[in-house]
Amino acid sequence: MLKLRSISKIEFDNHIKKQNDTHFMQSTAWGEFEKVTNYVTPHYLGLVDEDNDIIAATLLLEEHLPLNCSNLYAPRGFVIDYKNKRTLRIFTNKLKDFAKSRKATSIRINPSISTEDEELNNLKDLGYKRNSNIKLLEYTYKIDLTKEQKEIEKSYSENVKSNLKDTEKYDAELIVGSQKDLEEFFQLQNNQNNDYYETIYDIFSNNEHTKVKLFLGKLHITKTIKILEKELVRVNNQIAIIPIDNLDASSKERLTTLRNQKNKINDDLKRFKEYKLEYGNSLTISATLTMEQKDKVWILSEANNQVLLDTKLNYRIYNEYIKYYKNNSFNLFNQLSPLECSPSFNEFKKEFGGEFIEYAGDYVLVTNHITNFIQNKLIPLFNKFKKEDIDETSNSN
């Protein structure tokens, strides 16, 4: 007989470690992060058999509401085989009993299953309904890192390929940062989420199962200038050996190409010498937080130096992320995470290809219709009338 019980953090993380398709938001570290930042209570629950082996599990975040009620949320859904209707039904019924014991009005999930998966119907059959009130990033582009690098790069857009070729001559590198480098990330990010990401780093940087990593993309300005100067000498030498008189069509085309290259190098030299005067020998051009779990990685948050966007080095550095994780035996590169949704970044990442996955979205199972109606209809309506009354009183005065 299967039963639901609270399981320890170690049990939960060890179970997650054995599963194939999990998410960093399905971890005890994420539960502790949500506890600190959103003041929820994390519950680690397992469906166990007669031998006490875990068949299914979930992290449930309990949000405390007025009238001694609560809502339960399973980030990225349950750790379960959604195809197994029987297990899913038993687990759901056990969770409903748990919800009633916590006076919870509903259980909310946003599972890592796509809109094309048949498993979605299994959830709907159990009473889970689409929740249109929650807006999360519901798609991503996944790059299969088990392919050869050349095969991966074949799926890049022509714009990406061109920018990678154009930036080959610049001396740039990707380095792994530490906590002291977070300040550079915050400066480039230029928003008010410093405490949020600092807490993520504190909790996940030393976690055994799910780990955050900070990368800095560095441009070595002085070295780049020297490379460009050598390239200019090479191009000038090639121009010098082309006879000016009686040029055939091929030689004219060659000369035009070389002169264009020379002009481009001179423009770059002028620009990078100006950079050196202002910024010194090197400059951080991008900073990115990634989240690693087993053989998967997600781009968590990223920021680029706006001064250097015209160099297109952000394409070069992004490609270095992909190569870094391929070379370190990761199998899946998730270009988008549900934490941030930026249309400009999303379009940028679309150019790097990968399999497009659209997730099923947010689903809610109501466990107490009366309190759910009070929390989601009556209280918001009361607060609206109260605000209108206050505004009317203020205007009359």
Question: In the sheet that 129-130 helps form, which strands lie side by side, from edge to edge?
Answer: 3-6, 41-48, 54-65, 69-74, 104-109, 363-366, 129-130
pLDDT of residue 68: 84
- Winning range, highest mean pLDDT, from 112-121, 317-326, 386-395: 317-326
The reply to whether domains 3-130+367-396 and 140-358 share a CATH topology is yes
Q: How confident is the model at residue 229 (pLDDT cuts 50, 70, 90)?
A: very high
**DSSP assignment string, 128-139:** -EE-TT-----E
pTM for the whole structure:
0.86
Q: Report the share of the chain in percent with pLDDT over 90.
A: 67
Q: For the chain, give every domain's residue range.
A: 3-130+367-396, 140-358
Statement: residue 396 has pLDDT above 70: no
pLDDT of residue 244: 75
The 10s digit of each residue's pLDDT in 41-88 is 999 999 999 999 999 999 999 999 887 889 999 999 999 999 999 999
Statement: residue 203 has pLDDT above 90: yes
| Fold of the domain built from segment(s) 3-130+367-396 | Aminopeptidase (3.40.630)
- Angle 214-216-218 (CA atoms, 0-180°, nearest 5)? 170
Lowest pLDDT segment from 11-15, 238-242, 368-372: 368-372
CA–CA gap between residue 111 and residue 363 (Å, rounded): 8
For the domain covering 140-358, report its CATH number: 3.40.630.30
Lowest pLDDT segment from 201-215, 303-317, 370-384: 370-384
CA–CA gap between residue 390 and residue 223 (Å, rounded): 64
Quick check: helix, strand or coil at residue 193?
A: coil
CA–CA gap between residue 103 and residue 97 (Å, rounded): 10
What mean pLDDT is predicted for residues 350-371?
87
Residue 341 is given by DSSP the state -
Whole-number mean pLDDT of the chain?
89
Helices (H), 71-218: 85-101, 119-125, 149-154, 158-166, 182-189, 194-204
